Chains A and B, each alone.
Chain A
């Protein structure tokens, strides 16, 4: 088994990506897009003035020298690339031949955004598995992306050459180093990862190539791998994978949340007892950056010696859940403060779960503070998205499912829309918005790194208003993302949301799952420390290095049909306490197991005349002679004549009833007789003094 991490990703929106070789099959886990790279592009300018300025200065030769001076200095809005954006796929994926991938497992909608790039490639023929909801949400996200990208196309006109100007070496040399690094990567290898965006047709085609699954639905790939998706709790429909093969059972853990407030919770029980855990939840790396190191050591060490029961209990700890609620409360209070000061609130967010919860919280707090402020959701897919969340009760957490059983809508937005408090609109320029628009207001819209879609227009509108509030998910690229909107008078509230398993829970989780081997990212080596008492071995992986995982068993499981088993003719071995039998059947591989059936043809094993074909041991001459004489065969021994140089060989001559010769050596015996019957009798005699099968 081989495991290669192609990318560790970065945060919720850019999940990790790996390739696993198992059972002779190559499995790709997720195919995300690095959307944070979008921030190197300039958003579509709103006013005509901007356009003229930038276009002119771009062509000006003086500008080149001016730009050169800027290298090394902090970025400003003019450094951003004015062109139709390209999109960046996973770093090392383009180095692999996609036609050799057999299976693609998509764990989340975010992990699906790069998939159309793969499916449209020539030679790509892998089977793609994804949960039904992830496929739908992923499709909505991609449709949204494609439709917002249209705005760029309309502005810059159709793309002329296949290779855009900003990617040329001379152009890149002029770019500020920070920008250049995004384009090229640290080692310059990432330039090949840039792609022009797929089309709506590509997305449609991609979705047709996908096989959708329910949670815990079993699919069998090529007879050998039994694949199941189990809820991970991160989002509605996101999943972890269980892959059972004839030689080992594997669990793949993506970013997971134990007690989510909307999605079905992390089903870790289903991953118990697997041989190997591929731990791919790297969210703790992103959130740990600001936290002092001491914290991490303390927590993991204290858990490393926990018993199974204690570990199981530790997992049920819901502090993080409460923490998330607090965050939302705080967010709501900030929003109401702004609204009270007649500022508007802009919440660009691409997390469905957080978005739905915020919607519920904010509308409730508006209600309680008796603020009559409209809420707008602006996105090309918002209407469908909201409708969809209300028809998938099977994929939600227990509390939401209870709503189904009591006949209430699963989410509050159903009522909000009905009561005309929530307006769902496809775009900023839709007529319904123009007739409805009221400020102050609350607007939810897609994030897309503040480069695409309604957020650009609204930020331009409100960036100068000190009473307005922008709620942003924190990340490394926030500064760059806000660059085109500087100077920002608008208040910016950065917050991080729970995006996976927290560091202190990693060890208890592994204790509960009890794998034999665990694969952890190298970056967690220092943070999750194992004591010697851990019953499992740990391997650490890092980007673009292939780990070879030793095989656990030297044999495969095999199931023998009972009718075949009943035909066995057991032989006791002389010296050891062992029984052996020959067997013959038809071997099938199905559901990750080998099956042996008796097959269609009547088995030769059944015939009573069957004789051992393989012999071992040392024949005893005395015994042979006595057995022969019992059979009525008289023989005499001629000692000392070597057979093929062997010294211990001897010859036994038979004269009665007919002529025969037995040449007996250390490693073999030759029977030579005048007829079939006698030869066969002698064989039986020799067989009886040897072990054989």
Chain B
């Protein structure tokens, strides 16, 4: 006969409650980043990178896992690219132009501006060096970029009615962004590569404190704690300076954009400070034109560089001159930026051949070189002989400096970000397997956040957040926002101990604001559910309230009360006089105050009120609520009548027992 049995317990259905995360690339490895996330019916591809360690189908993410039929337009809502590095964008022209994806692609303004030349450089290297069949043509790159929608940092982009994306500054390279993605109530962040500390040319990653179900973060340096980038930059500058002071030539092989400008800013700044007059050259592949991009995009750089736009744009390189082929064998020190970056052919190779045999010269190598390139060979050990091709061998005597200031965050940065965002779940990508496992453990043990590090082609499912939308009446909202003060006294017995606990003064009275939203949710067929305040419900239903109350009338032995009275209050012993009767209530009040610590007991003269329970003196001869058999000694007893409602059922019987025990204790 329980009330609940009448109301049928309804099963409420919610839409699919999971976020599905398919890792197509950079799962337990560094290379070809590509994660496809399905949430609330939307499917988003984050990054579309290429793995430069492979030359077969493995260099691309396995797109067939997205859609077997190859209808990618239907299978994907959109693609989001975080930055212009090839391991994040390299497979994009292939995917759009060869595989035929025609949907929207989002990236930041700098990424859209710089990606084409990055892709073109890469295409050239592939075709020129290996003579291999190209995966995409220059036209493909142009066509692909036409599908791209450029976004600004912090701009809220509504991809469609339900899907919202927003870029946050990631600092890794110019235009790198983390992407916040929200569908309905579910939200995730995909970081791409990021850097949590600012450097000379870029700022640190910046993000709002967001409510997230999932954070997908890179973990290149999952276990490393790095010193500042400044010291590594200083090492590079020192190496260059030493070389040119000794009359040597410095070859810096780079691609047209990105590292070239970053290093050039460093050198310019250093040249200025040290008042050096040694020429810095850009080879013909690295036209000044490329710097134009950086000049216009200066607002994406670090605060210090940004501020230079009006006086002298930091990318207006003062010391940089154009290089001519005839100057290769000219005497005297110089610094030369030459393409391509991995010395895989072209001008940088030509210069390399000339300069490498001299001990005076210096060659810098980037952090990464594709396998099979000369750069890669130079990186992989102290080799003095390099096979240029089958017949020629080159004696490498020059110094080699490897650039190690990779702009990735370190383990501390990753932990800081995870802690800051406090997502419900973390997925690690873009790292090395054993290190990722360590970091995964740390995230779980230190932050208590569940964490996964799926391998390529694995899918991780995590639950997502949902809310039920209802209407709420103004009265309900107002009553919920009103403060609800709760006064509690420290009970008098342990007063001496507790009031001075730990040397701190504990107040007699504690006031807490225990506001809680209490209301009634009403659901009618074909209407939106609505929350109303209890007082509004009956009006809404058009019904009249039926008040159920409890009543109880009981005697208390006056002898006993007299005892209490005479000890507590000195007054006349005329027990039955009206004035005496009136003073029993204060007596009860004192008694109750002692017994019920914390309860909100009020004394109104005629009655004592505790929540809905009220007790007063019953003067009737025959009270209908005098259910209990009267005590034998009638005239000695005084009756008290009390009443309460169901909410305070327990409290009421407790008070009654306290009061009755007063009686029975001495009787």
Contacts and interface: CB of A to CB of B under 8 A. Distances in A.
Interface of A: 213-218, 228, 383-384, 387-388, 390-394, 401, 404-405, 407-410, 553-562, 565-566, 568-573, 576-587, 589, 594-596, 599, 608, 611-619, 627, 631, 651, 659-661, 663, 667-674, 676, 679-680, 683-688, 690-693
Interface string B535-569: 00110010111111111110000000000000000
Given A388-B310, A565-B468, A619-B546, A674 B628 contact: yes
A213 B154 CA distance: 9
* Residue from B3, B145, B519 with most neighbouring chain A CB atoms (10 Å): B3
Looking at chain B, what size class is its interface with the partner chain?
A: 35 or more
Given A569-B7, A594-B477, A596-B517, A669 B155 contact: no
A688 B112 CA distance: 69
Interface in B5-36: 6-10, 12, 14
Interface string B508-549: 000000011111111111000011001001100101111111
Contact of A613 (B152, B297, B646): B646
Given A391-B313, A576-B524, A674-B627, 18 more contacts: A214-B152, A407-B293, A410-B296, A558-B472, A558-B531, A559-B185, A559-B470, A560-B468, A565-B468, A568-B12, A578-B524, A579-B10, A615-B546, A616-B545, A670-B548, A679-B550, A684-B2, A684-B3
B310 A671 contact: no
Given A565-B12, A667-B545, A555 B474 contact: yes
A405 B543 contact: no
Contacts of B468: 559-560, 562, 565
A570 B518 contact: no
A690 B546 contact: yes
A681 to B, nearest CB: 9
A394 B155 CA distance: 11
A499 B68 CA distance: 54
A668 to B, nearest CB: 4
A693 B297 contact: no
B520 A577 contact: no
Contacts of B297: 391, 393, 404
Interface string B250-285: 000000000000000000000000000000000000
Contact of A388 (B309, B522, B538): B309
Contacts of A565: 12, 468
A667 B548 CA distance: 9
B296 A404 contact: yes
Interface class of chain B by DSSP: mixed
B298 interface: yes
A404 B14 contact: no
Nearest to A619: B546
A205 B362 CA distance: 51
B288 to A, nearest CB: 10
Contact of B152 (A215, A557, A594, A663): A215
15 contacts: A405-B145, A407-B292, A407-B293, A568-B521, A569-B9, A577-B524, A580-B521, A581-B521, A584-B516, A616-B538, A627-B1, A659-B627, A671-B551, A674-B628, A690-B546
B480 interface: yes
A390 B296 contact: yes
Given A214-B154, A580-B521, A687-B3, A393 B296 contact: yes
A555 B469 CA distance: 12
B636 interface: no
Given A407-B290, A555-B473, A556-B477, A683 B520 contact: no
B588 to A, nearest CB: 20
Contacts of A554: 473-474
A692 B3 CA distance: 9
B72 to A, nearest CB: 24
B298 A660 contact: no
B470 A614 contact: no
Contacts of B534: 613-614, 693
Interface class of chain A by DSSP: mixed
B449 interface: no
B467 interface: yes
A311 B480 CA distance: 45
A673 B521 CA distance: 33
A623 to B, nearest CB: 13
B471 A557 contact: yes
A616 B543 contact: yes
B6 A558 contact: no
A556 B474 contact: yes
Contacts of A553: 471
Contacts of B12: 565-566, 568
Contacts of A216: 152, 155-157
A676 B653 CA distance: 7
Contacts of B466: 562
B155 A660 contact: no
A405 B546 contact: no
A613 to B, nearest CB: 5
Contacts of A589: 481
A693 B545 CA distance: 11
Nearest to B116: A405
B661 to A, nearest CB: 15
B390 interface: no
B620 interface: no
Contacts of B609: none
A614 B537 contact: yes
B516 A408 contact: no
B624 interface: yes
B109 interface: yes
Contacts of B204: none
Contacts of B653: 676
Nearest to A215: B155
B645 A613 contact: yes
Contacts of A570: 7-10, 523
B153 interface: yes
The 8 closest A-B pairs by CB, nearest first: A571-B7, A668-B547, A559-B467, A555-B471, A558-B472, A587-B517, A616-B543, A672-B625
B480 A587 contact: yes
